[in-house]
């Protein structure tokens, strides 16, 4: 190696060392700066034809970071934020429903109503006992009203949160667009962009908490960001713009608006489609997915549970079974059934054995709006029946029967259906069908009385007061009377004015005794003994296997369901948070500055700088000696 080559090596060494010292000093200075990654200088040496060092390029500053751990950490943020949001809201939801042991819970209030009815059975003529039932019913109705409104407020809160989240995501995407452009320009100019890449990583980290993202880098060191289902949020250096219109007031069972993204090219797509559930994971996870799932799924389901409680409680107390009478015409037998008391939502239940020897169950449901026909089998909660809608808009029993004849002519052609001549429905088997005679096993109707007396033991303890005072019949018109009913359920004003209606059920031909426990016992049995199927859309059971039990059972099951849901959400949230914390520690360890190591490295660099300086000094001395010899 000649003196010139040695001098070049020393000069380049000093230049490299000075550059590395500057970078190391910056590492030390920024050791406590959030998101700052350790930097190092990459040196590229160039050699001449004789193998001597001709130059060293030290402009390339590299970040020390584990991109695999970084990706895992960013991906985990969506799950963690999703879990936290679901857990926070379901915990509040659990507080609304209370616990089975909580004295203010729906379960406890239902227990108080049961106890009050039991006391009334033992002393029906006691005014205080009657008032206790009215007070317990009123407390139950008010709790349903309050709980429903609290859940409605939670839905509104979630909707407003989506508006704020949309603004934040737009801001993050805009900032990513700006910093990404600067990184692209720096990369093309051969200038270090490491500091800007740190800033971009911090922005992507924040964005990853809102949506489940797929993030990749292009050959120009810019980003390509997609949602989990492949929709572009950031592409070719341009960010999509998100738009969301919050709803002033979300109605019962009303889903809110979707979040719409518009790309720079004008294409539009839903970030999280309205009504999409994060539970199926097609849209991934993240804070926005969780918030929309809460608004349009979890909280609507909770409202449906309250509506189901209110509806089934009302129907259990009010509805009575209209029995049929046996009828025989020649060799054929069946039943005659009065139909004049039918109201929209009431049903006629028919059981028969068809000509193939198969047992069949048909539920005829009354509707006052014929445009709803035909009804789906899901119109009732019974998984084993065939539902047939019948038009009662005429208000004339004879027309009801005409409509039933037409409907059953298609649904049950093996039966003989007619008007008995007194505007009662007559359904007979047919002894002539082959290979077997058709037989009618039972025929009855489930009727909501239109008066408080002389129509059976049932009593409309609760009424619908959303539009004045209306009897609750579970009518399917206008989206269904039970939708939002928990917000309007109230104790019947007639009962508030006269608590003796809890006992007095008959005025003709003679009034029943004031100490007659029949109605009180009927109401108690309706709450504690009579079983029914419950709406599977409220979250418990399925269409093929809905929850079956008493009203009291369903109330207790609902309270337990909410408690379990909150516990499961917390478990999920805790597990995801633990994973994220673990990844966060590993991620930070991969890029953070170790002060001790950097200080030791700085000493090495200073020694190397001094060594190169001594080499230069020695070469200088040799050059002087050489010049002196020449002179």
pLDDT tens string 273-317:
655 554 554 678 999 999 999 999 999 999 999 999 999 999 999
Cβ count near 409 (within 10 Å): 11
**276 in any annotated domain:** no
Task: Give the per-residue pLDDT at 502.
Answer: 98
Task: Give the per-residue pLDDT at 588.
Answer: 77
**339 in any annotated domain:** yes
**537 in any annotated domain:** no
For helices 299-318 and 67-97, angle between their N-to-C axes, nearest 10 degrees: 20
Ranking 187-196, 232-241, 619-628 by mean pLDDT, the lowest is 619-628
Q: Name the strand (E) or helix (H) holding 59.
A: strand 53-63
**470 in any annotated domain:** no
Q: Which two tokens stand for residue 488?
A: 């309007």
Contact 122, 102 (CB under 8 A): no
pLDDT tens string 221-273:
899 999 988 899 999 999 999 999 999 999 988 989 999 999 999 999 998 76
What percent of the chain shows pLDDT beyond 70?
86
Average pLDDT on 576-605 reads: 76
Of 412, 447, 482, which one is at a domain's C-terminal end? 447
The whole domain housing 345 covers: 320-447
Q: Which two tokens stand for residue 360?
A: 């069949």
Partners of 41 in the β-ladder = 61
Of 447, 477, 509, which one is at a domain's C-terminal end? 447
pTM of the complete model:
0.87
d(CA 594, CA 602): 12
Confidence bin at 516 (pLDDT 50/70/90): very high
pLDDT tens string 9-56:
666 666 666 677 677 777 677 777 776 776 677 666 655 656 665 555
d(CA 23, CA 64): 12
**354 in any annotated domain:** yes
Task: Give the per-residue pLDDT at 82.
Answer: 96
**350 in any annotated domain:** yes
pLDDT tens string 150-182:
999 999 999 999 999 999 999 999 999 999 999
DSSP summary character for residue 295: I
Give the largest Cα separation in the chain, rounded. 149
Q: Say how many domains are in the chain.
A: 2
**183 in any annotated domain:** no
d(CA 305, CA 298): 11
Task: Give the per-residue pLDDT at 311.
Answer: 98
| Matching residue, tokens 């929709």 | 231
d(CA 569, CA 247): 27
| Matching residue, tokens 């751990």 | 69
Q: Which two tokens stand for residue 520?
A: 């009180």
**573 in any annotated domain:** no
DSSP summary character for residue 224: E
Average pLDDT on 563-567 reads: 95
Of 447, 471, 500, which one is at a domain's C-terminal end? 447
pLDDT tens string 440-452:
999 999 999 999 9
Q: Which two tokens stand for residue 267?
A: 């294409």
User: Which are the contacts of 267, defined by CB distance < 8 A and separation ≥ 6?
Assistant: none
């Amino acid at each position: 190696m000649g003196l010139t080559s040695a001098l070049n090596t020393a000069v380049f060494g000093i230049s490299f060392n000075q550059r590395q010292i500057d970078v190391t000093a910056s590492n030390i200075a920024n050791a406590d700066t959030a998101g700052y990654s350790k930097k190092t200088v990459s040196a590229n040496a160039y050699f001449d034809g004789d193998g001597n060092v001709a130059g060293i390029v030290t402009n390339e500053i590299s970040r020390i970071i584990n991109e695999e751990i970084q990706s895992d950490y960013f991906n985990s943020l969506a799950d963690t934020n999703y879990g936290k949001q679901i857990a926070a809201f379901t915990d509040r939801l659990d507080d609304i429903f209370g616990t089975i042991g909580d004295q203010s819970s729906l379960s406890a209030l239902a227990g108080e109503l049961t106890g009050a009815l039991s006391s009334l059975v033992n002393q029906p003529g006691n005014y205080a006992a009657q008032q206790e039932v009215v007070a317990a019913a009123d407390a139950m109705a008010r709790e349903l009203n309050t709980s429903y409104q609290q859940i409605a407020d939670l839905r509104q809160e979630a909707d407003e949160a989506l508006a704020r989240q949309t603004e934040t995501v737009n801001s993050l995407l805009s900032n990513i667009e700006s910093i990404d452009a600067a990184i692209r320009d720096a990369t093309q100019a051969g200038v270090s962009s490491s500091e800007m890449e740190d800033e971009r990583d911090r922005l992507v980290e924040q964005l990853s908490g809102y949506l489940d993202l797929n993030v990749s880098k292009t050959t120009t060191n810019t980003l390509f960001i997609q949602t989990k289902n492949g929709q572009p949020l950031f592409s070719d250096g341009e960010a999509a713009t998100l738009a969301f219109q919050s709803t002033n007031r979300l109605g019962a069972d009303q889903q809110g608006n979707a979040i719409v993204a518009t790309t720079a090219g004008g294409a539009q797509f839903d970030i999280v489609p309205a009504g999409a559930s994060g539970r199926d994971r097609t849209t991934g996870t993240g804070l926005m997915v969780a918030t929309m799932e809460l608004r349009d799924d979890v909280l609507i389901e909770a409202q449906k549970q309250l509506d189901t409680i209110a509806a089934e409680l009302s129907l259990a107390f009010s509805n009575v079974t209209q029995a049929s009478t046996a009828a025989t015409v020649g060799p054929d037998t069946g039943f005659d059934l009065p139909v004049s008391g039918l109201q929209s939502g009431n049903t006629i239940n028919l059981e028969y054995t068809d000509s193939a020897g198969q047992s069949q169950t048909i539920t005829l449901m009354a509707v006052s709006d014929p445009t709803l026909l035909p009804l789906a089998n899901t119109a009732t909660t019974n998984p084993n029946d065939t539902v047939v809608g019948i038009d009662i808009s005429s208000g004339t029993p004879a027309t009801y029967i005409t409509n039933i004849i037409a409907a059953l002519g298609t649904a049950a052609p093996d039966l003989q259906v007619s008007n008995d001549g007194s505007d009662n429905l007559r359904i007979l088997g047919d002894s002539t069908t082959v290979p077997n005679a058709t037989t009618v096993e039972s025929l009855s109707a489930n009727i909501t009385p239109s008066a408080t007396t002389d129509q059976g033991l049932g009593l409309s303890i609760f009424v619908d007061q959303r539009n004045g005072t209306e009897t609750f019949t579970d009518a399917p018109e206008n989206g269904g009377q039970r939708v939002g009913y928990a917000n309007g359920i109230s104790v019947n004003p007639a009962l508030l004015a006269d608590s003796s209606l809890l006992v007095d059920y008959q005025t003709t031909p003679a009034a029943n005794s004031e100490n007659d426990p029949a109605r009180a016992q009927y109401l108690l049995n309706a709450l504690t003994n009579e079983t029914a199927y419950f709406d599977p859309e409220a979250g418990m059971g399925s269409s093929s296997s809905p929850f079956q039990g008493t009203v009291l059972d369903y109330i207790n099951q609902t309270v337990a369901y909410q408690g379990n849901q909150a516990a499961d959400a917390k478990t999920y949230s805790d597990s995801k948070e633990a994973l994220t914390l673990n990844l966060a520690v590993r991620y930070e360890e991969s890029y953070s500055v170790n002060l001790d190591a950097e200080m030791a490295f700085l000493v090495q660099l200073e020694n190397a700088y001094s060594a190169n300086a001594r080499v230069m000094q020695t070469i200088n001395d040799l050059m002087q000696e050489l010049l002196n010899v020449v002179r």
